[in-house]
């Protein structure tokens, strides 16, 4: 399976009309797509109740993973081609059938020792980690913000647009794209043409090398 695109969305736009528009756009894709859901309002509830109930970060981490799965269940019910998938084998099998797998991360993430079990890890870095496990996969982060074209991954991390574990869990060979609200109107058309919405985000070292050249 070639040209897989891992698309992370759903958390920040869960309460917005953008959610149904992104689902409709992704359903038009010709290239193989894997959806990684954000935790959305379910993860926000985990954060909100942690100081009230007193559970630790490790418990909160697992609860936030379950929040992603809750959003994933919702997304799978909204799309005609979307199906739930727990691991790489299930993802690849779904893609072979022409489906759009929605990743249910609990099984893989909780058994991965390289992933910290605290709030330094969010769905963005988990999407990066999953992309690195799929052959030749690219990653598109759907955000509720439009970024300048010269944005770098280091800048995104510095501005807390992605979490602090993102650069550690991102495979060096994974190409990263970011799509914002301005990209949504053409996202379905671009995906139907086998293209990626948004624009690529370079690593700082790659950008320096490109500018030097």
Per-residue confidence (pLDDT) for residue 212, from 0 to 100: 45
- For residue range 97-143, what is the model confidence (pLDDT) as tens digits? 999 999 999 999 999 999 999 999 999 999 999 999 999 999 999 98
Per-residue confidence (pLDDT) for residue 204, from 0 to 100: 62
Helix (H) or strand (E) run with residue 205 in it: helix 204-212
Spans of the chain below 50 pLDDT: 206-212
Closest CA to 10 of 67, 80, 79, 71: 71
Closest CA to 124 of 110, 111, 107, 143: 143
- List, in sequence order, the alpha helices (H) in 97-163: 106-109, 123-133, 153-158
Unique residue bearing structure tokens 């090398």? 209
Per-residue confidence (pLDDT) for residue 87, from 0 to 100: 96
Q: What is the CATH number of the domain that holds 203?
A: 3.40.1160.10
Per-residue confidence (pLDDT) for residue 186, from 0 to 100: 95
Per-residue confidence (pLDDT) for residue 46, from 0 to 100: 97
Domain that holds residue 187: 5-212
Spatial separation of the C-alpha atoms in residues 36 and 123, rounded to whole Å? 7
Per-residue confidence (pLDDT) for residue 209, from 0 to 100: 43
Per-residue confidence (pLDDT) for residue 207, from 0 to 100: 43
């Amino acid at each position: 399976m070639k040209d897989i695109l891992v698309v992370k969305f759903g958390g920040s736009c869960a309460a917005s009309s953008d959610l149904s528009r992104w689902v409709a756009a992704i359903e038009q894709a010709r290239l193989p797509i894997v959806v990684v859901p954000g935790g959305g309002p379910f993860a926000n509830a985990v954060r909100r109740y942690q100081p009230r109930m007193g559970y630790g970060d490790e418990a909160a981490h697992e609860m936030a993973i379950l929040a992603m799965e809750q959003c994933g269940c919702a997304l799978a019910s909204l799309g005609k081609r979307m199906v739930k998938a727990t691991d790489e084998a299930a993802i690849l099998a779904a893609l072979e059938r022409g489906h759009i797998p929605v990743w249910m991360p609990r099984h893989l993430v909780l058994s991965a020792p390289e992933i910290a079990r605290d709030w330094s890890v969010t769905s963005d870095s988990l999407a990066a980690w999953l992309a690195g496990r799929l052959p030749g996969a690219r990653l598109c982060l759907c955000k509720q913000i439009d970024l300048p074209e010269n944005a770098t991954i280091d800048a995104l991390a510095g501005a807390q647009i992605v979490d602090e574990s993102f650069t550690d869990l991102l495979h060096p060979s994974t190409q990263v794209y970011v799509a914002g609200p301005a990209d949504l109107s053409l996202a379905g058309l671009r995906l139907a043409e086998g293209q990626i919405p948004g624009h690529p985000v370079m690593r700082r070292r790659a950008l320096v090398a490109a500018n030097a050249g």
